[in-house]
């Protein structure tokens, strides 16, 4: 189903298995199967099986990271293939915490995204500039380097499973949401990199999205939804975001 809007939770390293299962079960009970709003949750790896069984098929369950090879001498890695076997449908690739705390380069992230797209899974490919890069006028160059390898190397079929999340690093977990004009400029720039005649993949915004700012962000025509960290951790705030998405879908 083509969705008009995407609401994806990144639970990072929060919750025990039981807490994650309870939250997704509560949340799944209000998600409407027939709506145009795609709802996804990425819990920690070990919570995925329980979240899948509690999701009532209304919430897509994905991973925050994965390796694209089916198997190999890769100590500590989890194969996207195994996640797919479990029933996970998407993987977040290149989140800024992976890039900045775990040293993931553009090359590594591109291999990850391209390899996982090849498996037929959906990928939420995260991009965004640091505050210093923005200050130096490098935002577009940074975005180009993070996105162009994907747009130019993935096949048309694979690109149907791609979702881009524009997340300025300085807005993630800081409470400092980007200005509407900054979000719109970045989204328009990403669309300008897209050269194919088919519609550009959905571009979400991420970075301190909350129920009190989501409506105005969703009003930006180029924004197709959000990748949400902090505000996805309680039933109250995530369900409020979902209601806003439903009203504006
Ligand atoms: P935040 O996180 O909503 O807490 O800023 C967003 C993210 O990390 O994707």
| Location of structure tokens 């939420």 | 124
Enclosing H/E stretch for 7: strand 5-10
Q: pTM (2 decimals)?
A: 0.97
Choose which residue among 230, 231, 232, 234 to substitute to test ligand 1 binding: the one with the highest number of ligand atoms within 8 A of its C-beta.
230
- Position 10 scores a pLDDT of 98
Beta bridge partners of 66: none
- Position 150 scores a pLDDT of 97
108-141: pLDDT as tens digits: 999 999 999 999 999 999 999 999 999 999 999 9
Task: Give the closest residue (by CA) to ligand 1 atom 3.
Answer: 229
Distance from residue 116's CA to the centre of ligand 1 (Å): 22
- CB-CB neighbours of 54 under 10 Å: 19
15 contact partners, CB below 8 Å, separation of at least 6: 23, 43, 44, 47, 233
Query: Residues with catalytic annotation?
Result: 95, 167
Distance from residue 40's CA to the centre of ligand 1 (Å): 14
Residue ranges of the chain with per-residue pLDDT less than 50:
1
- Position 35 scores a pLDDT of 87
- CB-CB neighbours of 71 under 10 Å: 10
- Position 2 scores a pLDDT of 64
Choose which residue among 203, 229, 241 to substitute to test ligand 1 binding: the one with the highest number of ligand atoms within 8 A of its C-beta.
229
Q: At what angle are helices 211-218 and 235-248 packed, to 10 degrees?
A: 20
- Position 68 scores a pLDDT of 98
* Pocket of ligand 1, beta carbon within 6 A: 10, 167, 172-173, 206-209, 227-231
Which ligand 1 atom is nearest residue 232's CA?
A: 3
- Position 56 scores a pLDDT of 84
Q: Phi and psi for 128 in degrees, rounded to 5? A: 160, 155
- Position 33 scores a pLDDT of 85
Enclosing H/E stretch for 128: none
Tokens of 5: 């809007």
- Position 128 scores a pLDDT of 98
Task: Give the closest residue (by CA) to ligand 1 atom 8.
Answer: 229
> What's the rounded Cα separation, in Å, for the pair 176 and 119?
36
> What's the rounded Cα separation, in Å, for the pair 25 and 87?
17
């Amino acid at each position: 189903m083509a969705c008009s809007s995407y609401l994806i939770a990144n639970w990072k390293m929060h919750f025990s298995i039981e807490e994650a299962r309870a939250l997704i079960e509560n949340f799944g009970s209000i998600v409407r199967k027939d709506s145009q709003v795609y709802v996804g949750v990425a819990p920690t790896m070990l919570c995925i099986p329980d979240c899948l069984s509690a999701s009532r098929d209304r919430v897509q369950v994905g991973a925050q990271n994965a390796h694209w090879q089916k198997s190999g001498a890769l100590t500590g890695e989890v194969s996207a293939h195994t996640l797919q076997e479990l029933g996970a449908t998407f993987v977040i690739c290149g989140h800024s915490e992976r890039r900045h705390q775990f040293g993931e380069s553009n090359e590594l992230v591109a291999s990850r995204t391209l390899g996982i797209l090849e498996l037929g899974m959906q990928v939420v490919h995260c991009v965004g500039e640091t505050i210093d890069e923005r200050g130096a006028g490098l935002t577009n160059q940074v975005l180009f380097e993070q996105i162009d390898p994907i747009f130019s190397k993935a096949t048309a079929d694979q690109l149907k499973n791609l979702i881009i999340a524009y997340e300025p690093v300085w807005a993630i977990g800081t409470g400092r949401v980007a200005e509407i004009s900054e979000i719109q400029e970045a989204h328009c720039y990403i669309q300008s990199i897209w050269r194919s005649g088919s519609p550009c993949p959905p571009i979400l915004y991420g970075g301190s999205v909350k129920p009190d700012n989501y409506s105005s962000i969703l009003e930006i025509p180029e924004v197709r939804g959000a990748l949400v960290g902090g505000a996805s951790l309680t039933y109250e705030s995530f369900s409020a975001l979902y209601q806003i998405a439903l009203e504006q879908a």
